[in-house]
Structure 1
Amino acid sequence: MHTIYIEGKNWLHYQTPLAASWAIKCICKAKHACSDAMNSPSWHTKSRYSIKEVYNLIQTQADKTQWARYVWNRLSIPKHRFILWMLIWDRLKTRDKLFNYGVCADNLCSFCGDAVETSAHLFFDCVYNKRFLVALLAWLGLNTHRTSVSLIPHWIRRNCRISFKREVFYASIAGGVYQIWKARNSAVWDHSVSTIEGLLHSLQSDVKHRILSVSGKKLSDVDREWLLAL
């Protein structure tokens, strides 16, 4: 990579003047951030600068997550992945959070009204949502009594040996989470609660259309027939 020069000086040794432009300040800010991450400015003195080398020096070795494979499953619809990821990190704005913010008058579940609406309650301790989960698992032909978003994919990984079916199951669970969250938003803001049958039908249509459009001609006849028969 060519060395970057700013006003005739190597940018690694460049000191940012107060009158510097926004772009120059951002470049220099990134330089200082790299030095702080490596606890040393010694990389400034190297004759050639390599983005790859600096990246390898500053990156930290994070622990492997158990959920990444099924959250970022290629067959899942992107917005389904995002909502599932938000759920995993407990970042969904459930009524317990909204109540603390002063947005809602109470923190009770929008579906059953019998418990505080937390992520754990919605997925899937709530009676309404548990019924939806049972219908979803029955549609997929999965015989498990697990009701945890983290445990169901783990069970699928251990009990389903066919990779395509496993990815379809992951996509369906992600779609189920999205449908519940979408229905919950309708219940909170529109005061309208969807039927279990309606949620499941919407999920089935979304999942099949997504998988057929993504897989295309790469999908074998056997897998296609199995998917369409669901």
Structure 2
Amino acid sequence: MQNRLRTRSMLVDWGICQDNTCLLCGNAVEDRKHLFFDCDYSRKCISGISAWLNIPEFLFNIDTSWKYWGEKMQDPIKRKVCYAALAAVVYQIWYARNKAFWLKVIIHPRAVCRVICAEVVKRCRQLINCKWKRQHCKWLYSLQVSCCS
């Protein structure tokens, strides 16, 4: 991420809005670093997804999580699923932030996690091919079952 997202701190600097407080937690200045993953809201989302994937998360930093999650998953197919989940976390946090900005609605982090889980499983099921082993399919199925519970 190259710090191009129009966070509230940027909008205040440009004179577009007057309040730079995070729309999701209301506790700090909304900049890239805070939104991904210093924000309590974002931490709940990343914790939910990391627990779903059985990856212990303690870094809560967007830049280092990519590397850490990749190292935790040695299997290349599982690693790709984890990267897809992390990308979905970033997308859904930004989506939730925009909902809060435009519609004044805060989506609960559990709901965000459910959407991420369902979307990642749905998209990854479309990628199943001859390189996938039976264990990969079973693992993806177990992720699908655990996301619905």
- TM-score w.r.t. the length of structure 2 is 0.90
Structure 1 residues 158 and 218: CA distance shift in structure 2, 3 A = closer
- Is 1:156 aligned to residue 75 of structure 2? no
Q: 1:144–1:114: structure 2 CA closer, same or farther, 3 Å change rule?
A: closer
Cα distance, 1:225 vs structure 2: 1.1
- For 1:158-177, what aligned pairs fall within 5 Å after superposition? 158-177=71-90
Partner of 1:214, secondary structure, is: coil
Q: Retained in 1: the 8 A contact 2:24–2:97? A: yes
1:138 partner letter: A
Residues 96-153 of structure 1: CA deviation (Å, up to 9, x unaligned): 1112222223111001112110000001111111111111111110013111111112
Q: CA deviation at 1:216?
A: 4.3
Give the whole-Å Cα distance in 1 for the aligned partners of 2:89 and 2:33. Answer: 15
Question: What fraction of aligned residue pairs are identical, expressed as a percent?
Answer: 33
Tell me how many residue pairs correspond in the alignment: 143
User: What is the aligned counterpart of 1:221 among 112, 127, 134?
Assistant: 134
Corresponding residue SS for 1:173: helix
Which secondary structure does the structure 1 equivalent of 2:106 belong to? Answer: coil
Code of the residue aligned with 1:219 in structure 2: it is W
Note if 1:91 corresponds to 2:4.
yes
- Asked if the contact 2:55/2:72 (under 8 Å) is kept, the reply is no
Stretches of structure 2 lacking an aligned partner (at least 5 in a row): 144-149
Which residue of structure 2 aligns with residue 145 of structure 1?
Answer: 58
Alignment correspondent of 2:97: 184
Q: Which residue of 1 aligns with 2:21?
A: 108
Counterpart-to-counterpart distance in 1, 2:68 and 2:129: 28
Q: After TM superposition, which residue ranges in structure 1, 4 or more long, deviate above 4 angstroms?
A: none
Match of 2:42 among 100, 115, 129: 129
Structure 1: tracts of 5 or more residues without a match: 1-87
Please tell me whether the aligned partners of residues 20 and 30 of structure 2 are also in contact (alpha carbons under 8 angstroms): yes
Local SS of the residue matching 2:141: helix
Shift of 1:217: 5.4
Q: Deviations over 1:25-65 (max 9, x none)?
A: xxxxxxxxxxxxxxxxxxxxxxxxxxxxxxxxxxxxxxxxx
Q: Please state how far the C-alpha of 1:205 moved relative to its aligned partner.
A: 1.2
TM score, norm. by length of structure 1: 0.59
